[in-house]
Structure 1
Amino acid sequence: MFVGLTGSTGCGKTSALECFSSFGWKTLDADRICHELYDDPASGVPGAVRKRWGKKVFFPDGKINRGEIADIVFRNRKEILWLNSLLHPKVLEKARKEARESTNKDVIFAVPLLFEAGWKKEFGCVVSIWTDEEIQHERLKKRGWSEKEISRRCRSQLSPADKLGLADFAIINNGSLKSLFEQCKSLNKNIRKHYGKIC
């Protein structure tokens, strides 16, 4: 099974992945893969980024400053489109490779921009996690994000409601971790029982 997990920033994708991991799934995370690509000169990403934006997006030790890149792309749609066109094919290629090489063939892949990237067809089924906007913003503020930064990032994605409407399954994450765990537990059983042959 190859299942997609999506949802807007701050909706709880990482926590949901942890739940599915406890149920025996191999978990993949697009954000983690992006970070690995940023740190690997052989990926071609650091070179392309340096050519596009220069040394200002690098730390003195040569590592990419992701915060500086975020500041650029969330202010300029042209730049975020360029970055996505660079990263998305590489992220998908790496995820496919990891899934193929895994001895565990029940794989769930968390992708914030799954629908925006046009990847729904890559998965047998897609789960979207939704959170009330006020709760979502409170979570992001706890990460140290300003309201302006939250607004910029959220505008760059489909809304949580839109993602929910495009998905095959929904998780509503407005409550406790226990509530999230129970929803993931039920969904795990449902997917395995009814969709294992197509996911």
Structure 2
Amino acid sequence: MAKFIVGLTGGIGSGKTTVANLFADKGITLVDADIVARQVVEPQSPGLQQIKQHFGEHICNTDGSLNRAVLRNIIFADDKELQWLNNLLHPLIRQTMLQQVAQATSAYVIMVVPLLFENGLDRLVNKTLVVDVAPEIQISRTSQRDNVPDSQVEQIITSQISRKDRLAKADDVIDNQGDLADLTVSVDALHNQYLKLAQQTL
């Protein structure tokens, strides 16, 4: 049975997780790209085995888990290695996300993907939902949350699709510049809309 999928995205610090959790509170299954990205490189996983074969045993910690710091240093210094890793992981992540969607029992599914448009994953969803805030809010929220300098957050924002392009590609937009009460109202309205659309696609 075809599942109705909503692709939830937004820039760093926009509040994607807060919005996703409000949908989860309504019993909607979340399939989160960041969580799946960690699952496909868990110890003993085929993904990690291939990474180990390619980079060598030193890519793992003593407990068998992936040493992300070592891997990050390698791929940031070498575009070819980054490309190799993306070619390995992107199909694994996509396949695992689709398996999780297929197993979901809720009326529709929210796929939480920070780089939904950048990685072309919007092709997998029926609707795209963007959580939007002004860049200055993104910067202050993220620098406080992650305890990093503003300049680092600005770099991440620059590396993502522009706010203008993201909004242009969005089917639905949640403005997350108000408080939680405003956000809940927005999510309630969209939830009812997605329930109707999911019914129509059955």
Q: Answer yes or no: same fold by TM over 0.5.
A: yes
Deviation (angstroms), 1:29:
0.5
- CA drift at 1:111: 0.7
Q: For structure 2, list consecutive stretches of 5 or more residues without a partner in the other structure.
A: none
Show the counterpart of 1:50: 52
Partners of 2:141 and 2:74 in 1: how far apart? 23
Greater alpha carbon shift after TM alignment, 118-127 vs 76-85: 76-85
TM-score by length of 2: 0.83
Aligned counterpart, 2:125: 123
Write the deviation string for residues 107-128 of structure 1: whole angstroms up to 9, x where unpaired: 1110111111112221111111
| Equivalent position of 1:89 in the other structure | 91
Q: In the alignment, what sits opposite 1:24?
A: 27
* Counterpart in the other structure of 1:197: 200
Q: Supply the RMSD in Å over aligned alpha carbons.
A: 2.5
- SS of match in other structure, 2:200: coil
* CA displacement at 1:94 relative to structure 2: 1.0
Cα 1:62/1:144, change in 2 over 3 Å: farther
Pairing 1:43-192 to 2, within 5 Å after superposition: 44-55=46-57, 57-70=59-72, 72-73=74-75, 78-141=80-143, 142-192=145-195
Which residue matches 2:37? 34
Alpha carbons 2:43, 2:64 under 8 Å: kept:
no
Instruction: Identify if the C-alpha distance between structure 1 residues 55 and 38 changes in structure 2 by more than 3 Å, giving closer, same or farther.
Output: same
SS in 2 for 1:158: coil
Alignment-mate amino acid for residue 138 of structure 2:
Q
Confirm or deny: 8 A CA contact 1:74 1:152 kept in the other structure. no
Aligned CA distance change for structure 1 residues 157 and 76 (closer, same or farther; 3 Å): farther
Alpha-carbon contact 1:124-1:198 (below 8 Å) kept: no
- In 2, Cα distance between the equivalents of 1:146 and 1:72? 23
Please say which of residues 30-39 and 48-57 is displaced more in the overlay.
48-57
Percent identity, aligned pairs only, is 29
For the 8 Å contact 2:61–2:67, the answer to whether it is kept is: yes
Q: Answer yes or no: is the 8 Å Cα contact 2:22–2:184 preserved in 1.
A: yes
> Comparing 160-169 with 76-85, which one deviates more in the overlay?
76-85
Q: Residues 40 and 193 of structure 1: is their aligned pair in 2 closer, same or farther, counting only changes over 3 Å?
A: same
The structure having more radius of gyration, on CA atoms, is 2
Secondary structure at the aligned position of 1:135 is classed as helix
Judging changes above 3 Å, is the alpha-carbon distance between structure 1 residues 55 and 108 closer, same or farther for their aligned structure 2 residues?
same
SS class of match (1:38): coil
CA distance in 1, matches of 2:139, 2:76: 17
Following superposition, the deviation at residue 54 of structure 1 comes to: 4.2
Moved more, 63-72 or 159-168: 63-72
Partner residue in 1 for 2:18: 15
Deviation at 1:93, TM superposition (A): 0.9
Structure 2 residue 48 is the aligned partner of structure 1 residue 6: no
